[in-house]
Amino acid sequence: MSQVDIKVLDKGFVRLIDHMGSDLSVVNAARVSFGKVKTTFEENDALLVDYLAAHEHTSPFRHTALTLHVKAPIFVFRQWMKHRIGSEFNEISGRYVEFPEDEFFVPEQFRRQAKVNKQGSEGSIDPAHQPRALESYLESCRGAVAHYKELLGLGVCREQARCVLPLGLYSEVYWTVSLQAVAHFIRLRADSHAQWEIQQYAAAVRAAVEPLFPVSLKALLAVPKG
């Protein structure tokens, strides 16, 4: 299998490592109830997949799996790791490795706090304030990393020194997940109400997964939100 590697934000990525199954796997998982197995995916099978998704007969979609290697800022993973059902995460550990100096997310622009959606953002701050916002942001991140390196130099253990690092620091995970759980993640995190940064990851996940399960993913994403 050729590796799919999608760049996200300034230093992140979504990388497809492995997968199990296809649209045909979903169909056969459903048809086994009738003692039937197919070897090719046909037009009427797409109708069955649509029926399964529309009527929430979701178990056949869980007879699939994908493993993705993801590099993202910690604040993105804070949201991502709420998706626990049908998912498994293994993350790089600051107890075992020393974080590099410039591995933190730097926004291209700074957004205003939304007036209606209290947890979200909208538009950009005053253009005249963008340079100072960036300067302040970089000062904070670089200062935190400098203190982290200083603590390590003083002999402080990695598991304590890492506590000063910023939420914008990049981390890495392996994410193994069923197709149903992938669709649920995309539906929630590609939504316009989700934070912009995680929307970019949801789009990348979709781009990595869709070629493998085009019919099934389309069917799952077409179901209206409950």
What is the rounded distance in angstroms from the CA atom of residue 57 to the CA atom of residue 30?
9
Q: Does the annotation list 59 as a binding residue?
A: yes
Q: Does the annotation list 187 as a binding residue?
A: no
Q: Helix, strand, or coil here: 166?
A: coil
- Residue 62 annotated as catalytic: no
Q: Does the annotation list 158 as a binding residue?
A: no
Type of residue numbered 187: R
Q: Does the annotation list 162 as a binding residue?
A: yes
Q: Does the annotation list 125 as a binding residue?
A: no
Q: Does the annotation list 159 as a binding residue?
A: no
Query: What region, left, alpha or beta, does residue 90 occupy, with left being phi > 0 and alpha being psi -120 to 50 degrees?
Result: beta
What is the rounded distance in angstroms from the CA atom of residue 172 to the CA atom of residue 65?
19
- What stretches of the chain adopt beta strand conformation (E)? 4-8, 12-20, 65-73, 87-91, 112-113, 121-122, 170-177
170-177/121-122 β-pairing: unpaired
Bridge partners (DSSP) of residue 69 are: 15, 174
107 and 137 Cβ atoms separated by less than 8 Å: yes
Q: Which of the following is catalytic: 62, 112, 142, 189?
A: 189
Q: Does the annotation list 93 as a binding residue?
A: yes
User: Which residue ranges make up the annotated binding site for FAD?
Assistant: 59, 91, 184
Catalytic annotation, residues: 189
User: Which residue ranges make up the annotated binding site?
Assistant: 59, 91-95, 162, 184, 189
User: Which residue ranges make up the annotated binding site for dUMP?
Assistant: 91-95, 162, 189
